[in-house]
Amino acid sequence: MRWTFLVIVLLLIEIYAFQAFKTAFKNNWTLKAYFITNALIIFNLIFRLIVINKNSLSFSDVFYNYLSIPFAFFLILLVFKLIIISFLFIEDFTRIIHSIYNFFIKSNESNKFFIQRRNFVSKIALIIAALPIPFVIHGIYKGRHNYRVLKYELEFDDLPEEFDGYKLTHISDIHSGSLEKINKVEYAVDLINKENSDLVLFTGDFVNNKANELIKWMKIFSKIKAKDGKYSVLGNHDYGDYVNWKSDQDKKDNFTNLLNFQKEMGFNLLLNENKKIQSNNQHIYLVGVENWGKGGFKKSGDIDKACVGLNDKDFKIVMSHDPSHWEKVLVNHNTHFNLTLSGHTHGMQFGIEIPGWIKWSPVKWVYKYWAGMYFEKMQYLNVNRGFGVLGFPGRVGVWPEISVITLKKTYIS
């Protein structure tokens, strides 16, 4: 029943959108090109879904290798049509209101004006609907690998002197199951290593769903280097909660495999615990918590447990996957956390960012803190835009990020 309803809705969208083409273009070749493009995109997607169903393949296992690009182009086509029909709907609504008005006042006004306006509106709708397409296609094939190194210098008056100039590289949301080109990932790892950081800190979501997504990439991520080590925490996708496992034991085995894989790659996973980072006779602490997210997201993070043994004077860097944890808990906690590192939002992989001018993404309506560095109540939060992709196989305007943070000591007279 649901599939029937969906097909009917898509068919109505198609019929409505076609009216714009029919009105704007009288050339049969243009209409044929539209039909052929439509057919190729839709039937390619349907064919792949049939193959998956026929071979009883797991949707989560094959999506990124087999379905993500066809599905993305289907969505591009659908959004293109929805933009068109939004214009036509407004135009039709005004025409209906005008017709009702004419009916009651017995007007014989010519429809020529409305025919001309329909033609104009159709052309404008097609132009506006087509504008985002090249940017989206660029995001799929180029933008997802457009790694950016963003550098920050943060000052603290309570930073131990031995850590003045201490450098952190922060990465997040690798989503191994969505990675595609080995040479591009190797390039990103080279960017990380060129920073020669003291610590590399990863804030969760190594995989989309299953630990075996990581196997292909382990050798590359093992090459990441840091003077004082590599540390990680878990994100919501690392628990395997979004897969229908055959048994609870399969899910437990998957989770165990992910923990072991991280260890094999040289990452020290912090599970609601802390780690002292020593430099001569001074130290700072890394505090790593499991995933804690607002709403229906997993809330395994326990900041109080992670801080056992620490005192108020200790300089603390918290690693917590979801920035809503900082918003809802950490920034107002009795314990002062100097710096928190998060990820999770991906900046929705879509937005407009011009440094010093504009920073916008639809994800801001869901997450108050969604990308970049924030400062409140004498505490910093860095929300990394992510390394990989999830869902939509591309990035438009919000590029994959490697954050490099240098800690600086300030002296109070």
pLDDT reported for residue 170: 99
Q: Which amino acid is present at 408?
A: K
pLDDT reported for residue 94: 74
Host H or E run for residue 358: strand 358-360
Q: Are 156 and 315 in contact (CB under 8 A)?
A: yes
pLDDT reported for residue 41: 83
pLDDT reported for residue 56: 58
**What is 198-262 written as a DSSP string?**
SEEEE-S-SSSS-GGGGGGGHHHHTT---TT-EEE---GGGG-TTS--SSHHHHHHHHHHHHHHH
pLDDT band at 54 (very low <50, low <70, confident <90, very high): low
Helix/strand/coil (H/E/C) assignment for every residue in 295-353: CCCCECCCHHHHCCCCCCCCCEEEECCCHHHHHHCHHHCCCCCCEEEECCCHHHHECEE
Residue 403: closest CA among 205, 186, 155, 154: 154
pLDDT reported for residue 271: 98
What CA–CA distance (Å, rounded) separates 56 from 49?
10
pLDDT reported for residue 257: 98
pLDDT above 80: residue 19: no
pLDDT reported for residue 24: 67
pLDDT band at 62 (very low <50, low <70, confident <90, very high): low
pLDDT reported for residue 224: 98
User: Of 22-26, 129-133, 185-189, which gets the smallest average pLDDT?
Assistant: 22-26
**Residue 241 buriedness (CB in 10 A; 0-12 / 13-18 / 19+):** middle
pLDDT reported for residue 38: 81
pLDDT above 60: residue 218: yes
Higher-confidence residue of 39 and 368: namely 368
What CA–CA distance (Å, rounded) separates 385 from 362?
14
Domains of the chain: 2-131 (no CATH), 147-409 (3.60.21.10)
pLDDT reported for residue 111: 60
pLDDT reported for residue 387: 98
What CA–CA distance (Å, rounded) separates 115 from 238?
56
Higher-confidence residue of 124 and 267: namely 267
pLDDT above 70: residue 177: yes
pLDDT tens profile 69-114: 788 888 888 888 888 878 777 777 777 776 776 667 655 555 665 5
pLDDT reported for residue 55: 63
What CA–CA distance (Å, rounded) separates 50 from 109?
53
pLDDT above 90: residue 120: no
- Two tokens, residue 107: 């007007």
pLDDT reported for residue 73: 84
pLDDT tens profile 141-155: 999 999 999 999 999
User: Of 63-67, 70-74, 151-155, 371-375, which gets the smallest average pLDDT?
Assistant: 63-67
Higher-confidence residue of 37 and 379: namely 379
